[in-house]
Structures are given as structure tokens and as C-alpha cells.
Structure 1
Amino acid sequence: MKIAFLTPEFPHPKTGSSGGIGTSIFNLSKGLTSAGHQVFILVYGQSDDEVFTENEIVFYRIKNVKFKGFSRFLTQKKIEKLINQLVKKNQLDIVEAPDWTGMTSRIQPRCPLVIRLNGSDTYFCYLDKRPVKFLNKFHEKLALQKSTALLSVSHYTASLTKQLFQLKKDFAIIPNSIDLTKFSNDYSVPVQDNVLLYFGTLIRKKGALELPLIFNEVYKRNNKVKLVLLGRDASDIITGNSSTWKMMQPLFDKNAINNVLYLGSKSYQEIKDSIASATVCVFPTFAEALPVSWIEAMAMQKAIVASNIGWAAEVIDDSINGFLVHPTAHESFAEKIVQLLENEDLRNQFGIAARTKVTQKFSIEVVAKQSADFYKNILQ
């Protein structure tokens, strides 16, 4: 098959920085090309138009059209023209796009169009308890309604999206994936004692403002514990504060903060080294669709304490391959962390079970096959 992914982001030096959507497409693309499929990456919002091929994948960098009041529509038509040219040349069978801001709302491809839910703006605004922009919700709903078929990375995200947009369509459920060869449990970096690791953007929706309150409770029980934070600092959408990290600092007890180390954004390799050396990974998040960071930590056989909201049980089985606790239950969250810090056997038990689950459910080979089978059914 010849499959195109339309996306606002992709992790490549030529296409700029990327978040979860780009990472999930990167992993899926690798799995599909390994299985013999042709993959095209169409990245809009670029500084220039460019076509290049790398690792058997054809990239189209697409520069947005600038015209006051019509930029979005004209960019959509530019994308539509490119897709239909590829279809006409028999170079493309099917297109997949994310739900974020509904970029395909005015695109009419001459091939099937799949929308994969990684969390729309409407979805995250609902979870954050803040208003969504009217136009974003309008375009997201229109894109979902016009699609040939719908995928979601979790049952929870599919169910909530159907509710928010009053959709009658059903969703196939295919999760995000990771490359197990890049997140191996056979790692030379030694595990440190009493080190908690959070990696991800410092932002309210990922529970960054709960972390200090949780850590204070852990510190009361174990004053040797250290908290390491990795990820870029973000502004706070509710208060308008330019730095979530600055908002976090006063929330730590005066002694506990001495054991906190914020390292900022780090390279892929440095993140993997930090995961390998951590004793326990913590993710008190409020808003996700299906978090890749959790899966990466699980693949490296790490014991995890994470949020119990919505999607969480589709990743971690509570008390089998991790602990799930509500982010605002600070004492309960801390108790689970302390339990793991004090019990190496339990950490190892959780880690082995976590790696097994990732291998069976979230590897790129498994997810790529599920996606390819789904595309084939649509084409047939």
C-alpha cells in the first residue's frame, strides 16, 4: 500500500520540533516501511516547499499560504491539490491525518481519508476545564464527519470525542507504538537509589502543579529521595504565567526543594539514560489520549506511579505493571511511590510485567500490522 500521513509536526531536522503526534507517526511509519509499504509524510506549516526522500520515506514540506482571512482555506486547497496529484499518478492509496484543529475539514481527497484521534483541541479543553475556540471545534467536527473512517489511540478518547462532537460514527481502536529496540531493558546505565523521574513538558495538564505536593509527602517519609524533572518549561494557559516551573517552585516545602533537580529539555539519548537510572517514574497527568512517555518507561522495565484518569487503565494494569492514583490524591500517590522505593522486588516485578505488555500491545510491529489491516479493509 501507499500511505500518506498529513501532519503539523514530525521529528526530523528539516521539519522542526515535534510532540506526541509527530512521534507516533514516526514510529508507525517505521513499522509500515519495514512491512513493505510506501509511506509519504506531508508536513504543513513549513518555512519552504520541499520534497526529499530518506530511509525509504518520501517527505513533502508544505509552506502555508499567507493571505489575510483565507490562509487556512488556501493552505487546505494546496494540500488537497498535492494529495490528488499523487492519487492521479497512482502513487497514493490512502491518507491519514490527526484530529488536532481539523486541518482536513475543507480537503476533498480522491482517496479514502482516515482521522486518527490523538486528542483534539476540543478534547483537551474539556479535560482542562477551559473554553475551546469556536472555529477549532467547528473544523474538528467537520473533519471527523467528512472522514472515510475513524481511528482512536484509546477507547476513552474515542468515547469522549463521540460525546463532545455528538458523532454517530464508530472508531477502531489502535494504540500508539514505540520502537522496542530504542527503549531496551538491557541497558548499561546503573539504576540509582531513591530517584524519582518525571519526563515531559512542565505544564498544568500533565500534573506539573501536583508534583511538588506529591513530592513533599514522599520527602516526609524519605528525606534521601530526589526528584528529577526533564522537559521544556511551558506557559500556563489559565493564569497566563510564562513559566510553569516558576509556579511549581513555591509549592515545594523549603527542605524538599533542595532535593529537586530541573534539567530542562534533553536529547533523546539523555532522556533514555535518565529513565534507565531512575528508581521510579511518575506521571500525575490530567489530560492525555495515550501517553507515549509511559510506554517508553514501561519498555525499559521501570516501576511507574501514574494518573488513574480515563485512558490510564488502557496502558497500565493497576498493581500488576504499575500503580494508578488520582493526581490530586497527594498522600495516596506518595504512599505508592514510597512503597516502590522501599521494595526492589516489587519494582522488578512491575518492570518485567510492563515490558511484556509493551511487547504484546505497543510495539511498532504489532501496531503497524493493525493499522495496515485497517487500511486494507477500507480500500477493499
Structure 2
Amino acid sequence: MHIAFLTPEYPHSKIKHSGGLGTSIKNLVVALVAKGVKVTVFVYGQPKSEVFEENEIVFHFISDKKYRLGKWFFYRKHLQNYINSVVKKEKIDLIEAPDWTGVTAFINFTVPLVIRFHGSDTYFCHIEKRKQKFKNRLFETLAVRKAKGFIAPTKYAGEVSAELFGLHKEKIKTIHYGLDLTQFNNEYPESFEKGLVLYIGTIIRKKGVFELPEIFHKVRNQFPEAQLVLIGGDSGDVATGNKSTWELVKQQFYEKDLEQVSYSGKMPYAEVQDYIKKANACVFPTYAETLGMVTIESMAMKKAVVNSNIGWAQELMQDGKSGFLVHPANHEVFAQKIITLLSDTDCNAKMGNEARLYVEEHFDITKKVAENINYYQHLIK
């Protein structure tokens, strides 16, 4: 079997940007190759075209192109022609693409197409109650209608996407993202910085970052030595048009609290893991996800987590056992759960261990890869 992935991002030194979408694809690609599946990765929108093989994965970087008019159509046709030529030459059996921006709209592949609902603009606008551009909704709807199969990382994301795009829920296969658990080790979970609260993720409104100042203030009222560290790239704010969400969030902190807040920006993932190990607790007050990779990555490293309780989050952990689930706007309860983890060492350790066990049972890539292979084989027949 030969599977191809079409994606705008992938974690690689030659690619400038990659987020959770790229990480989830890479985790699956590496696991597929380990199972003997041949894999090709098409990464579009790159500065230059390049074809190379690395770790038994064939990469096709497809350069971005300029058109006087109609790039939305002509660039997709360029992708179609290029990919179909490789499909024929390399005997690719199936192509998987993300729902985001509807890249496969107007593209006709010669093999079955699977759309994975990583989180479309349509989905996030619905979750965030934002008005969506007509063009984005059109492209994503056209892209979805061209697919033969659909995969969602959570049942919630699949059901919401089905409703938004007019699909039968039964047509969507739920397969959680997987982690290579050998890459997430914490040999000394009992060793951490007391009072260190860690947030990892883009500094953007939909991640609930505007809830953190009030939550942290309530934490410090009972645990004055608490520190808050934020890691992740800054983003513009859709509500105000401000170029820096962090600058807006920073203004919301009480002056004394801000003295114990540190924003580290983006950093290499090895350093992020070091911070996870140092954290007393990890917090994710997000309003919009399809799953939340950083949550399960923190859990895999035996960290107690306080997470949003919205929709998809119900599939990430058992509330009160392998983590805490709280609505981000409920500042009092969110803060109390953090305080529990900072002050009760036994509870913190037990929850961290349960978090790891939950990830091993539900998000181990060696288990998830088999589910993906079975679904691909079903579509290829």
C-alpha cells in the first residue's frame, strides 16, 4: 500500500512553520513507514520545489506560484496535475488531505481522497461564533464533497463537521491522533518546580488566553508563590485587529501578578519538553480545538492538567482522575483545580500517573496506526 499526504505544513528543518496539524501528520507517517507502508508527503506553498527521500519517506515540496488572477483556481489545478503525475508514476493508492481552507476544492485526483477533519475554518468559525468568509466556506464545502472517506480526531469534531457540511455522521470514522510514546519520557515526575503553571500554545483568543489573567490572580490569592509561564507564537487578534494578542493579554494581568508571569515565545520542542518536566501543572483553557495535541503530550509526560471541558475535551481524559475538565470562563473553579495540584503533592502525582496511563490506552500511535491502515484498505478496495 502506498499512501500520500497533501499538507501545508510538516515538522522539518526545511519548513519554516508547522503546528499541531503537521505534528499529527508526522506522527502517523512515521508509524505507517514502521509498519511497511510506503508514504509520500506533498507539502504545498513552499519557497521552492524540491524532491528528496528521508527516513524512507519521499517528500515533494511544491513551490508557491503567482498568478495575475484566479490563484485560488489555477494553483489548485497546478497541484492536481503535479500530484496526479506522481500518483501514476509511483503507483500511489490513496491521498489524504486536511479540511483546512479546502485545498482539494477544484482538484480531481485519480485515486480515492480522504479528508481528515483537523479543524476547518468552517468548524472554528462555528465554535467561536465568528462570521466566516463566503469564499472559505465554499472552498471547504467543495473539497469535502470530493472525498471518498472522512476521519475525525474526536467524535465531537466529526459530528460537528458532519452537521456543518451536510454529511451523514456514519460516514465519518473517528480515529484519535497518536503519539510516539517513546519520545515522551519523564523519568523523574516527582521532580518539578513547585508552583510553576505552564501554558503551551499559540497566544490567540480562541485558546482562552484572555481567561488566564483572572484565573492566575485567583491562584495567587491562595498560592502567592505561583508562577505562570506561557510558550507559543504570538498571533494577531481577530476581535480587535491588534497585531499582538500577547500585548492585549498582558494588559489584563494585575501588576503584582505580572511580576510572576513569563512569556517565552516559540522555542524548539526539546526545550518545550524541558519546561513540561519542570511544570507543577499544565493548563489549557481553550475554546476551540478538534483534539489538542499539547494536552495529550503533557499527559504523556505524567503531568497533571487542567483543561477546557468543551466538546472534544471529554475524549481526552477522565475528569477528576486523569485530569481536570473545567469551562474556561469559570475562573473560580479553574483556579481551584490549579491550586489543588499546586498544594496537594499526592493528588498531583497520582493524576500525572493516571494521565500517562490514559494516553497509553487511548493515544498510543502503535495502536492508532492500525486503525488508520484498516480504514485506508477499506477505501482502496
1:180 is aligned with what amino acid?
L
* Matched-pair contact (CA < 8 Å) for 2:181–2:364: yes
Contact 1:189 1:277 in 2 (8 A): no
Give CA deviations for 1:252-275 in whole Å, capped at 9, x if unaligned: 122111111111111111100000
Does the residue aligned with 2:373 lie in a helix, a strand or coil? helix
Once the two structures are overlaid, the 10-residue window that deviates more, 83-92 or 149-158, is 83-92
> Residue in 2 aligned with 1:215?
216
Residues 319-358 of structure 1: matches in 2 within 5 Å? Answer: 319-358=320-359
Which amino acid is 2:144 matched to? L
State whether residues 65 and 74 of structure 1, in contact with CA within 8 Å, keep that contact through their aligned partners in structure 2: no
User: How far off its partner does 1:226 sit?
Assistant: 0.6
1:297 aligned onto 2:293: no
User: Which residue number in structure 2 is paired with residue 175 of structure 1?
Assistant: 176
Superimposed CA distance per residue, residues 81-102 of structure 1 (whole angstroms, 9 cap, x where no aligned partner): 2232233225311100000011
Match of 2:370 in 1: 369
Distance 2:189 2:296 in 1: 20
Partner of 1:244: 245
Counterpart of 2:180, as a letter, is: D
| Distance change (3 Å), C-alpha of 1:188 and 1:171 | closer
Which whole-Å CA distance do the structure 1 matches of 2:332 and 2:189 have between them?
34
Quick one: structure 1 residues 188 and 328, their matched pair in 2 at CA, closer, same or farther if it must change by over 3 Å?
closer
Secondary structure of residue in 1 paired with 2:96: strand
Question: Post-superposition shift, 1:245?
Answer: 1.3
| 1:199 aligned onto 2:200 | yes
Q: Distance in 2 between matches of 1:15 and 1:252?
A: 35
1:92 equivalent to 2:92? Answer yes
> Partner amino acid for 2:305?
I
Asked if 1:50 is matched to 2:34, the reply is no
Cα drift, residue 74 of structure 1 = 1.8
- Give the 3 Å change call, closer, same or farther, for CA 379–286 of structure 1 in structure 2: same
Alpha-carbon offset, residue 26 of structure 1: 0.7
Q: Distance in 2 between matches of 1:302 and 1:104?
A: 38
RMSD value, Cα: 1.3
Corresponding residue for 2:11?
11
Contact 1:152 1:171 in 2 (8 A): yes
Q: Which amino acid aligns with 2:352?
A: G
2:279 corresponds to which residue? 278
Count of equivalent residues = 380
Distance 1:82-1:189 versus aligned 2 partners, 3 A rule: farther
Q: Larger deviation: 111-120 or 16-25? A: 16-25
Aligned residue for 2:59?
59
Q: Residue 340 of structure 2: SS of its match in structure 1?
A: helix
Specify whether residues 187 and 2 from structure 1 end up closer, same or farther in structure 2 by C-alpha distance, changes over 3 A only: farther
Question: Is 1:360 equivalent to 2:343 in the alignment?
Answer: no
Partner of 1:164: 164
Instruction: Report the equivalent of 1:126.
Output: 126
The amino acid across from 2:294 in the alignment is S
What amino acid is the match of 2:247? K
Instruction: Tell me, in whole angstroms, the C-alpha distance in 1 between the residues paired with 2:7 and 2:376.
Output: 18
User: Counterpart of 1:305 in structure 2: which amino acid?
Assistant: V
Residue 185 of structure 1 and its aligned partner are, at CA, apart by: 2.5
Deviates more, 1:240-249 or 1:293-302: 240-249
Give how far 1:15 is off: 2.4
Check whether the contact 1:15–1:61 (CA below 8 A) recurs between aligned residues: no
Distance in 1, matches of 2:112 and 2:175, equals 18
Letter paired with 1:65: K
Contact 2:189 2:349 in 1 (8 A): no
Aligned mates of 2:17, 2:74 — CA distance in 1: 24
Q: CA shift at 1:139, angstroms?
A: 1.0
Q: What residue in structure 1 maps to residue 21 of structure 2?
A: 21
Give the percent of matched residue pairs that are identical in Structure 1 and Structure 2: 45
Provide the residue aligned with 1:106 in structure 2.
106
Q: Determine helix, strand or coil for the equivalent of 2:29.
A: helix
Q: Is the 8 A contact 1:151 1:173 kept in 2?
A: yes
Q: 1:38 — aligned with what?
A: 38
Q: CA deviation at 1:188?
A: 8.6
CA contact (8 A) 1:153 1:175 kept: yes
- Structure-1 separation of matches of 2:33 and 2:112: 20
Contact 1:65 1:72 in 2 (8 A): no
SS of alignment partner, residue 183 of structure 2: coil
Deviation at 1:241, TM superposition (A): 1.0
Range with bigger deviation, 1-10 or 358-367: 358-367
Aligned residues of 1:4 and 1:95 also touching (Cα < 8 A): yes
- Residues 222-260 of structure 1: CA distance to partner in whole angstroms, max 9, x if unpaired? 101111111111111110111111111221122111111
Alpha-carbon contact 2:190-2:349 (below 8 Å) kept: no
Over 3 Å counting, the alpha-carbon distance change for 1:187 and 1:271 in structure 2 is farther
* Higher mean C-alpha displacement, 163-172 vs 106-115: 163-172
Contact 1:10–1:16 at 8 Å: present in 2 too?
A: no
Assess if the C-alpha contact under 8 Å between 1:149 and 1:171 holds in 2: yes
The AA in structure 2 aligned to 1:233 is D
Mapped partners of 2:17, 2:90: distance in 1: 31
**Contact 1:15 1:43 survives alignment (8 Å):** no
